Structure 1
Amino acid sequence: MRFPELQSGFSLTDIDAVVFDLDGTLAHSNPDFAGLRAELGIPPGTDILAHLHSLQGQREFEAASAIVHRYEMDSSAKACWIDGARELVLHLQHQGLPLGILTRNIREAAQLTLSRLELSLEWVLTREDAPAKPDPAGLRHICQAWQLAPARVLYLGDYLFDVQTATNAGCRSGLYWPGEAPLPGYAAQADMLVPCYHGLKACWPR
């Protein structure tokens, strides 16, 4: 069990609600991004959604969107819990914290992932419900619905866009980064690094 690393000035006692990213954060459901970019004919690291929006022709856009849809649905059909994530969610629910999900995925794929996890939360926003991350609109909407100050809400994800979204919304950010892979440069921007959900559950205030 490995415990989270908190930046100076950040405490879990200040958190009244948690919003999660979905793919790669709660579930093993990330699409094969390398294969997807190769099939789309775009370089590694290219923002796939930005690429879609850059396409001018309707036929080209629809063809590329169909490829993205296929990859997202295929990965969601095989989704399963990340180690410790289910236990963390149940623990936070038991504590009475409001929980939600903000994902860049499409609604259909997100619902398929959630059905495989047997997880139901009141708030699940996809890129069809709010502008895609790192735009903070979706996260701000959830905070407003909960009537909570953004600084009292933790957004937990596994990528740069998640950290940026939290910062843009005025929320606190948590970066899930398991394993021995070197930390990315943007990890220093997160309020909390989470290498293990069991460790986060164990140190969450009761």
Structure 2
Amino acid sequence: MSQVQNDFKLTDIRAVIFDLDGTLAHSNPDFAGLRRELGIASGTDILAHLHELRDPGERQRAQALVHEYEMASSAAASWVAGARELICYLQQLDMPLAILTRNMRAAAQLTIDKLGIEITTVLTRDDARAKPAPDGLHRICDLWQIPAAQVLYIGDYIYDLQTARNAGARSGLYCPDALPDYASQADLLIPCYHELICAWPNERT
């Protein structure tokens, strides 16, 4: 079942922002293969690596490789179990929804179009500094005129938890498998979206 941590209440939430890859869609690139081709160690932040490249030709080649991997994974995207139902449920509650992703815009849009994700507010790394920087989340909150403290950001990786914390928002960790070592940083643990749908009205009554 969804597990609440850190004094968190769903009744305080007025809007939800989602990560995309691994959260709404099975569309994560083959990061291990990408890092091997880039010649960087496991766990290295790929976007940070791109930023640190000083040779224009080397950077262009690396960016092209990242583009290839992201587009290929988006072309093969499929729904995460329960994600479409959760979106529909929250829309029935008239809750503002958005997507904030580290993807480039072309790949994110390909995933959204392929799956028919009906969320119109989408920010990518082409629109704001990449997570865990809070810029994108702040921009969405400003658009909605909703305090970050009343927004739940749902993702599947530590960057998502850090982004929420850096922005002053609440964080939900989608964790259908074993809990990662950073799970304690999340305000809400979500092993199953169907369980979250069932828990939401109980929290709101």
Residue aligning to 1:190:
186
Residue aligning to 1:82:
80
Residue aligning to 1:154:
152
Mapped pair 1:94 → 2:92: yes
Give the 5 Å matches for 1:1-206. 3-179=1-177, 181=178, 183-205=179-201
Q: Any unmatched runs of 5+ in structure 1?
A: none
- Equivalent position SS for 2:66: helix
Q: Quick one: distance in 1 between partners of 2:45 and 2:189? A: 24
Q: Quick one: distance in 2 between partners of 1:125 and 1:108? A: 11
- Equivalent position SS for 1:193: strand
Q: Any unmatched runs of 5+ in structure 2?
A: none
How far the C-alpha of 1:122 sits from its partner, in A, is 2.4
- Equivalent position SS for 1:73: helix
Q: Quick one: distance in 2 between partners of 1:191 and 1:32? A: 28
Residue type at the aligned position of 2:165: T
CA RMSD of aligned residues (A): 0.8
How far the C-alpha of 1:48 sits from its partner, in A, is 0.2
Q: Quick one: distance in 2 between partners of 1:195 and 1:158? A: 10
Q: Quick one: distance in 1 between partners of 2:71 and 2:60? A: 16
CA offsets 1:144-176 (integer angstroms, 9 cap, x no match)? 110001110000000000000000000000000
Which segments of structure 1 move beyond 4 Å, counting only runs of 4 or more? none
- Equivalent position SS for 2:143: helix
For normalisation by structure 2, the TM-score amounts to: 0.97
